[in-house]
Structures are given as structure tokens and as C-alpha cells.
Structure 1
């Protein structure tokens, strides 16, 4: 991953690896071993532009797509029984209370898709954790590291999303259709249950559910009368904000993992107690003007305060960093009412970034 620097770009796309005797589509281990170099190249490969992932050769790209397709179809044709753990989950019925992303009825193709999906999720979690380990200890340089790091991570994730779109179309879509997506029937029912009536028609129930989804998407910037592209962007942010048991498209899966393994860690405030009753610290008393006692802040909150209050940065750079960080937090699903997001959003609305040089707007 980029550590805030932009290395020199490789002149040629990653070539197709040497073919071995094993069929990459025969099992998950073989398939993952075949595609892993491509994913690593997209996520870690050198590039002069952190917003663009380096390419792989067309032949390699096509073979990954073909082997992924063959893996799905070969598994669906297999007579192997379901894994015992998933058979238990299937018998337990639908819901969402478990730690895994799905439950309910399964077939072998769906199980193979789940296996690959969970492997990709684990891969993103590992990369996000590695990125966090590389973060500087100095709060004043944290945001300067975070933004290019996230841009590079996101660019790689978007390329992988396109490369493995078969997973989105044949596993994620099916899981969402089976009520395992970011917004489930139970979520909607709990919030609008009081408005349901036995006399409601199917269309009336569907409309209430649609209205609830629209209300949720508005929290992520969706505007009914705005441009059409606000809908997929808002839904992608809502997907990234979902819990780990929800099935979401691969790019949202990556952004969600960046939040859970990187951003959320930086947002955690230090505990006021030392782990026991005897070590518990007393809160400072309120000041004479009635203001509440100071509350410990997480690293990212401290870094944002330094960014917005420092006089060492030019105004143009401060506005740019604030806007890009606000976009990052929105993209990975940090909710709009979080204190750090509220502070950044307020600043950006009052101090929008300067237009690029040469722009006529």
C-alpha cells in the first residue's frame, strides 16, 4: 500500500502467470492462488496516480474471469454435500443474528460464492490492518497519510470490483434478493410496523418499504429530485456503513473493511478508566462558564482539530484535505451524526475547496 508517497509507475501491465498443471477452477485454494497476484498488483502495485490502480494484461484479466465462472459452475454441478456448519445455518432459517453473512437455504453454487466472498473480505481486512500499522504516530501528519492511503486502496478495490463482477452478479445479487443485503425486511418492518394494517394491499406494503429505503438513503446524500447518480453513490455509502453480516457488492465490502479495520480504530477515544474500579479516573469538573468537562478524543478527532485550527497550512491545502477526508469518511460509511463527520461537514460547507488551477468555474 502507498504510505502517502507516489512511487514510479510500472511501464507494463502485470503479465499472465505461468500456467501450471492444476486447474485453477477446481477449488477455492487453486482459484485464489491464481488470482491473488492480480489482486496484489491492483492493491499494492506502483502507480504515479493514487486514484488509478495499475493494470494487468488482458489475457490474465480474461482468464481470471473465466476461471471464476468455471469455479462457480463446477461447484454447482458437484455432488458434494454442504459443509456441516452451513447445513446447520440452513436449518436455522433466515434472520441475521449470526456472525456470518447469510443463513437460509443453500445450494453448492451459492456456498462456493460465499466461500470466495468471505476470502475476499478477509483479504481486504488484512490490507486495511497493514495500512493502519503504517500510520504515523504524530497526529499532525496522520491525515496527510490517510488520504493518499485511502485513495490508493479505493482505486484498487474498484478495479477488483470490475475484475470480479461475476461474484457481484451471481452471488451478491442473489444474496440481496434473498434479503441478506444491507437493508433487510426486518429492518424495515421494525421501523414502520406501526403503520402496517391488515387491510394494506401488497402494493401499499411495497411502497412503505420503498419509502423507508429512501429515508435511509437520504442520510447518505440521496436527493429524489437530484441527478440520477446520487442514488448509486448513496447506496454504496449505506452498504459500507452496514454491519459485517450483510452481503454487499465487492467495492462496498472493501470500503466497509477500511472503516472497521482502519478508520474505526482511529476514531476510538481513550478509556477514562484503567480497566478496573480502583483505577477509574474522575472526570474533571465543569468550568465556571457552565461548559462540560473535556472529553478524551480519538486520534482522528485530534488530527481533525489540528488540521482545522493550525496556521501552518495554507488555506487552500487545509480546505482540500478537509474535503477529501470528509469524502473518505462518507465513502466508508461513517454515519452523518458522528461528531468528527459533523465537524468536517460543517467546515467544508462553510469553506469549500478551491477549484483546480485553470478551471473556469
Structure 2
């Protein structure tokens, strides 16, 4: 992220820097081309806005660069027209083969654009991973602003392409393709050997959301946040809203590689090897080393340590790293005790 010198407004307040004051991106001229004519045309029309929102240099981690209202409306209209054309084509195919026996299963309208967006977030997260510093102690200080910038951009894209959520994602969830499905309930009953009637989908949903910070009778915002975390924690085959889709890719392509411990090469039965249950001799993940190094240095104030630990814990939770993960438990312990020694 680029750094720029701040300047004062007429009210005398310091701005976040010239780079944070990017003008809204204008609607690109499409000429006579129809952006809803095909997926490639629609993607070519949307892509400049996506890149402007998440890739433009800015010092602000609180607000993503904007696009002009006419461009926003143009993207919504083009997406709507493309989905409508897909639905009409699917209906025409269904009518034409109504009396022709078994039919081909066609993908739901919007699935192709959804997959393009998933790949876009995947590539973006991988680019950010390539930029991680080699110094483990600087790793956490890279991750936090990096994720904040990524997150505000993802939520901006979620609003920009909300029609995808309302048309494609909602229908897929209604068809039992969301983060919590009926098969999840049946699998749990079988695994637990529970012969009595299983929990309802609603009961299971509330049970899962409590793991992500939801409390029954709590604020609506808490429920929304808990569900987004649960969606981000889902497997890649689950259909989730675009904001959660982006957070999930940040987890799978950025955070999980940093949480993966390197493989140990060696022969089994080596004399002096640790017992099977003893994992203390195994190498830790790069992020675990980064947290230990950062919180173990003497010249960092306790306030800064607490702030970094709090932000990292919030990041891991937001992208769907479950509480049972060792690093999340250690961060929680640190935030409770306020001492780096627990790490």
C-alpha cells in the first residue's frame, strides 16, 4: 500500500493521505457493445470496477475506492439483463425438450458469474500471499492491514453485485446448497449414533452460530456477523454470499498456507525419536512463529501487543478459522491474561 503525505481540509482536519482520496471511477465507454450479451462481455465490463475497488493504492483501510453512480447502476443493469437472458434461454430449452425424454441438467443462471468471482478472489488472495515479508516478526504487521484492505473491498463488491446474492445465492441456499444443509444434520446423527429424532435445521443452525459469537436474543448485527463467519468457514462446494465467498478464499489461499506446518522428512523408527503422541518436536507453522516472535520482543509495548493480537484473532475468526485451532486458542488466552508468555 502506498503512503502519501496528509493534507489539511478547510476545517483543519488531517486527511488520511492523497492516495486515500481517489476520485470515483467513471463508467467506461462500452460503445455499441452490449455488456449483457455474454459472460465474457459482462466480465469485461465489471472487471475494471473490481480492480479499482480492491487493487487501487490507498492508505485507507476503512473505505474502499468508489465508482461513479452511473457505473454502479450500469453494472447492476447489465447483471440483471444477463441473468434474465440466461433464465429465458433455460426456459426455452426446457420447453423444447419437454416431450423428448430424459433431459440434460443445465447450470443455474448466475452460476458462471459466481464461479468467475470465486476465482477472482482466489487469485487476489494468492497475490497477497506472495507479498508476505520473509521476516516472521513482520508477518502479523503485514497481515492485519492487508486483510482490512481486502475485507472492505470484498464488502464493497458484495454491495455492488448484490443482485448475484439475491438471484443466484438465495436460490442455491433455498435448494439446500448453503453453508448448512440437511445432509449435515443427518451426518451428525449418524456420527453420534443418536437413534432419537435429530435436531431441526433451525436448532442446528443456532447451535453452529453460537460457535461464531451469536447469542439468542442478541442484536441483529451479531446474528449477521456470526452467519458470515460460519459461511466463510464452509467448504468450497457451499454457495455463500459474495462477501463470505471472498473471506473464505482469504482463508483457503492466504491464511491456511501460513497455518500449515512444513513437512518433516525422516525415516520411521529413528533412534531417539519422540513418542507418537508427542508433537512438541514438530515444526510450527509460519504464522505461529510470527506470533511468537512478535509478542516475545522486548521493545514492543504491551498495548501494541494486545492490539495486534486482538486484530489477528478477529481476522482469523472473520475468515472462518474455527476456535478449536491451536493458534486461535493461544491468542484468546493471551488476550485474557495479557501476557506474551502463554505463546
Q: Deviations over 1:101-150 (max 9, x none)?
A: xxxx9666x2x310000000000000000000010011000011111101
Q: Does 1:113 align with 2:124?
A: no
Is the CA contact (8 Å cut-off) linking 2:3 and 2:58 kept in structure 1? Answer: no
Corresponding residue for 1:187? 184
Corresponding residue for 2:147? 150
Task: Give the root-mean-square deviation of aligned CA atoms.
Answer: 2.8
Q: Deviations over 1:186-223 (max 9, x none)?
A: 001222366566xx7xxxx7x63221111111111111
Q: Does 1:170 align with 2:167?
A: yes
Q: How does 1:47-62 map to 2 (within 5 A)?
A: 47-62=58-73
State the alpha-carbon separation in 1 of the partners of residues 88 and 235 from structure 2. 32
Instruction: Give the counterpart of 2:34 among 18, 23, 27.
Output: 23
Q: Does 1:161 align with 2:153?
A: no
Q: 1:317 to 1:56 in 2, by over 3 A?
A: same
Q: How does 1:6-85 map to 2 (within 5 A)?
A: 8-78=19-89
Uncovered stretches (5+) of structure 2, i.e. residues with no partner: 5-15, 95-101
State the alpha-carbon separation in 2 of the partners of residues 155 and 282 from structure 1. 52
State the alpha-carbon separation in 1 of the partners of residues 45 and 67 from structure 2. 13
Q: 1:34 to 1:20 in 2, by over 3 A?
A: same
Q: 1:66 to 1:196 in 2, by over 3 A?
A: farther
Q: 1:283 to 1:300 in 2, by over 3 A?
A: farther
Instruction: Give the counterpart of 1:124 among 118, 121, 139.
Output: 121
Q: 1:243 to 1:344 in 2, by over 3 A?
A: same
State the alpha-carbon separation in 1 of the partners of residues 317 and 21 from structure 2. 31
TM-score (norm 2): 0.84
Query: Shift of residue 283 of structure 1?
Result: 7.1
Is the CA contact (8 Å cut-off) linking 1:3 and 1:134 kept in structure 2? Answer: no
Query: Shift of residue 227 of structure 1?
Result: 2.5
Corresponding residue for 2:225? 233
Query: Shift of residue 303 of structure 1?
Result: 0.7
Larger mean CA deviation between 301-310 and 181-190 belongs to 301-310
Please state whether the residue corresponding to 2:133 is helix, strand or coil.
coil
Q: How does 1:264-279 map to 2 (within 5 A)?
A: 264-273=256-265, 277=267
Query: Shift of residue 21 of structure 1?
Result: 2.2
Corresponding residue for 2:205? 213
State the alpha-carbon separation in 1 of the partners of residues 144 and 167 from structure 2. 33
Is the CA contact (8 Å cut-off) linking 2:25 and 2:66 kept in structure 1? Answer: yes
Is the CA contact (8 Å cut-off) linking 2:138 and 2:294 kept in structure 1? Answer: no
Q: How does 1:316-335 map to 2 (within 5 A)?
A: 316-335=303-322
Q: Does 1:314 align with 2:301?
A: yes
Query: Shift of residue 307 of structure 1?
Result: 2.2
Corresponding residue for 1:299? 286
Corresponding residue for 1:253? 245
State the alpha-carbon separation in 1 of the partners of residues 2 and 310 from structure 2. 20
Query: Shift of residue 291 of structure 1?
Result: 8.1
State the alpha-carbon separation in 1 of the partners of residues 324 and 2 from structure 2. 29
Q: 1:22 to 1:271 in 2, by over 3 A?
A: same
Uncovered stretches (5+) of structure 1, i.e. residues with no partner: 83-89, 92-104, 353-361
Query: Shift of residue 4 of structure 1?
Result: 9.5
State the alpha-carbon separation in 2 of the partners of residues 282 and 43 from structure 1. 52
State the alpha-carbon separation in 2 of the partners of residues 282 and 56 from structure 1. 64
Is the CA contact (8 Å cut-off) linking 1:192 and 1:208 kept in structure 2? Answer: no
Is the CA contact (8 Å cut-off) linking 2:61 and 2:145 kept in structure 1? Answer: yes
Is the CA contact (8 Å cut-off) linking 2:22 and 2:65 kept in structure 1? Answer: no
Please state whether the residue corresponding to 2:110 is helix, strand or coil.
helix
Instruction: Give the counterpart of 1:342 among 310, 326, 329.
Output: 329
Is the CA contact (8 Å cut-off) linking 1:272 and 1:281 kept in structure 2? Answer: no
